[in-house]
């Protein structure tokens, strides 16, 4: 078919309708052709003994369905990072840039940085710093004892002088001798303290010289590392459908005025597109999927599809997909005011049933209107204030305040866990138990926001109570009661192996995409900040 990396479909796909536009890489439902290609790639990959164990441990793979110059259909396959310590396998597309070349720039630069690391390690393992710190502490302690002893001797001499003066029998020569003795002792104390300061300063200079040597090595390492990264990402040159080329370093410099994160350009999506553009192949649709066990902390399920990561891939995708007819972002198609159901309203607050896909408050995209802004339009620009949020993909009850005082009171109730909330969720799978509590700490995935990860050391505690309501084949309807309010708390607690290990249906980030995220804020109960009535609201099940 014109390229050794194109694979023909093993099954008959002639009856499958081709996609009209290319997959929006940050949020998509995998096309049927991608699913078939992914199945064939997994069958092949897991049959290879060389990397079978590595894949079982967990790896992101990807497929890109393409047409060649004759219009024939096929697909490309890729893996994220390296596989079996190399980036060259006949079945998969190659790296954009092979940083593992033994005599290449990266390996040479890495060797130099490694030597600095060894120097730092040798210095820190030598114990010189700790010995100097101990010596300084011991010297100070010894000097304090010496000064204390001298001061005691001086105090005794002063007491003797005072007694002699009180006797009243001193001659002028004796008084002069006492004064001289006192002056000598004061000078003696000053000399001793000066000598002590000199001794300690000498040791502290030695310690500072040591620390400066280590700091200089660390600074040198940082400069060399940044320079190596800059040169490295300058070698990652990517193409787009318009025939334009740009290196990854420049793309991030123009967009963020900083270097790309480590590993940028090593994900499946840019590898697949790069190969397609270099070989005049037309991209039709793309999907990335996980194979093997879930990594520690993150949530990845075998066989589930995931969007391209935002921190590394989004800027590359924005450039590489120029000239490709791409699907619109499904999250950008916001519902209008006529689709928003106002459940309750008085002069102090308003409770709204948020549609799926709508932002609660304004986001980075200035063209996407939020529920808060729609409520402002509904009230002709009068004050509407945020109290809490629902994820864009979550539907259900949201309360807004109309005054600062009401906003402050309601926020306090949320922060103090005085607000009762329940959610309905449809899960893909059947949990082990019918009810219980999930207690898994969460923090942001710094390299792939807004994803969250479970982190028992640095995460914030997150607690969820759950109750199974109904089983529907391999799906389960559950009621969630969050006892804390962390970002993506219910989504992670449902998906994580130490939670329910059953992703919420349609969860693109932690499960498998569908026509929507099947998570709905069902009920809301709080104390009215002004009337002090208990306010209870229940949303209709979508």
Return the half-sphere exposure (C-beta side, CA atoms, 13 A cut-off) of residue 429: 18
Q: How many CB atoms within 10 Å of residue 363?
A: 11
- Parallel, antiparallel, or unpaired for β 59-67 and 73-79? antiparallel
Which residues does 294 contact at the CB level (< 8 Å), separation at least 6?
A: 58, 300, 301, 497
Taking the alpha carbons at both ends of the chain, their separation in whole angstroms is 48
Measure the CA–CA gap between 175 and 181, rounded to whole angstroms. 10
- Radius of gyration of the chain, Cα coordinates, nearest whole angstrom: 34
- Cβ 92 vs Cβ 78: under 8 Å: yes
Q: At what angle do helices 313-320 and 268-278 cross, to 10 degrees?
A: 20
Secondary structure, 3-state, 449-460: CCCEEECCCCCE
Measure the CA–CA gap between 286 and 268, rounded to whole angstroms. 10
Closest CA to 416 of 250, 337, 531, 527: 527
Of residues 247, 353, 391, 428, which has the active-site annotation? 391
Does the annotation count 137 as an active-site position? no
- Cβ 513 vs Cβ 29: under 8 Å: yes
Q: How many CB atoms within 10 Å of residue 215?
A: 12
Which residues does 380 contact at the CB level (< 8 Å), separation at least 6?
A: none
- Cβ 383 vs Cβ 403: under 8 Å: yes
* DSSP per-residue letters across 12-38: --TTSPPPSSB--TTS-PPPHHHHHHH
* DSSP per-residue letters across 58-109: -EEEEEEEEE-TT--EEEEEEESS-BTTBS--TTS---SS-TT-TTSHHHHH
Which positions are catalytic?
391
């Amino acid at each position: 078919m014109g390229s050794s990396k194109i694979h023909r479909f093993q099954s008959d796909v002639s009856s499958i309708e081709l996609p009209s536009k290319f997959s929006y890489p940050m949020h998509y439902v995998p096309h049927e052709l991608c699913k078939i290609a992914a199945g064939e790639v997994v069958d092949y990959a897991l049959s290879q003994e060389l990397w079978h164990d590595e894949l079982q441990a967990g790896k992101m793979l990807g497929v890109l369905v393409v047409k060649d110059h004759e219009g024939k259909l096929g697909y490309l396959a890729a893996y994220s990072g390296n596989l079996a310590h190399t980036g060259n396998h006949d079945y998969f597309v190659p790296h954009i840039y092979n940083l593992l070349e033994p005599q290449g720039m990266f390996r040479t630069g890495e060797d130099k940085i490694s030597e600095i690391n060894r120097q730092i390690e040798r210095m820190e393992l030598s114990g010189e710093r700790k010995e100097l710190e101990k010596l300084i502490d011991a010297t100070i302690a010894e000097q304090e004892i010496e000064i204390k002893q001298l001061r005691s001797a001086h105090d005794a001499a002063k007491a003797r002088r005072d007694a002699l003066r009180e006797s009243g029998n001193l001659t002028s020569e004796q008084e002069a001798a006492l004064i001289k003795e006192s002056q000598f002792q004061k000078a003696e104390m000053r000399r001793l303290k000066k000598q002590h300061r000199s001794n300690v300063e000498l040791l502290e200079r030695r310690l500072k010289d040591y620390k400066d040597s280590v700091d200089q090595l660390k600074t040198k390492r940082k400069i060399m590392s940044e320079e190596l990264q800059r040169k490295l990402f300058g070698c990652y040159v990517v193409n787009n459908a318009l025939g334009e080329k740009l290196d990854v370093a420049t793309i991030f410099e123009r967009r963020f005025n900083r270097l790309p994160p480590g590993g940028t350009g090593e994900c499946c999506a840019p590898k697949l597109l790069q190969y397609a553009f270099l070989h005049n192949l037309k991209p039709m649709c793309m999907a990335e999927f996980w194979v093997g066990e879930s990594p520690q902390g993150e949530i990845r399920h075998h066989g589930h599809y995931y969007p391209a990561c935002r921190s590394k891939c989004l800027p590359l995708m924005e450039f590489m997909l120029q000239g490709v007819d791409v699907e619109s972002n499904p999250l950008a198609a916001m519902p209008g005011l006529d689709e928003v159901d106002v459940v309750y309203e008085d002069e102090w607050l308003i409770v709204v049933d948020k549609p799926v896909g709508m932002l609660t408050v304004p986001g980075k995209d200035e063209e996407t209107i939020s529920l808060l802004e729609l409520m402002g339009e509904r009230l002709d620009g009068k004050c509407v204030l945020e109290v809490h949020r629902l994820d864009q993909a979550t539907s259900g009850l949201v309360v807004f305040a109309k005054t600062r005082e009401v906003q402050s009171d309601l926020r306090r109730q949320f922060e103090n866990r005085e607000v009762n909330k329940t959610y309905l969720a449809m899960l893909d799978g059947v949990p082990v138990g019918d009810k219980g509590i999930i207690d898994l700490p969460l923090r942001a995935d710094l390299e792939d926001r807004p994803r969250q990860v479970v982190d028992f050391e640095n995460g914030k505690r997150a607690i969820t109570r759950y109750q199974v309501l109904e089983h529907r084949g391999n799906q389960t309807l559950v009621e969630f009661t969050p006892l804390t309010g962390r970002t993506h708390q219910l989504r992670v607690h449902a998906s994580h192996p130490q939670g329910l290990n059953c992703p919420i249906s349609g969860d693109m980030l932690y499960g498998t995409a569908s026509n929507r995220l099947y998570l709905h804020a069902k009920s809301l109960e709080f104390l009215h900040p002004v009337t002090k009535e208990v306010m209870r609201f229940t949303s209709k099940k979508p």
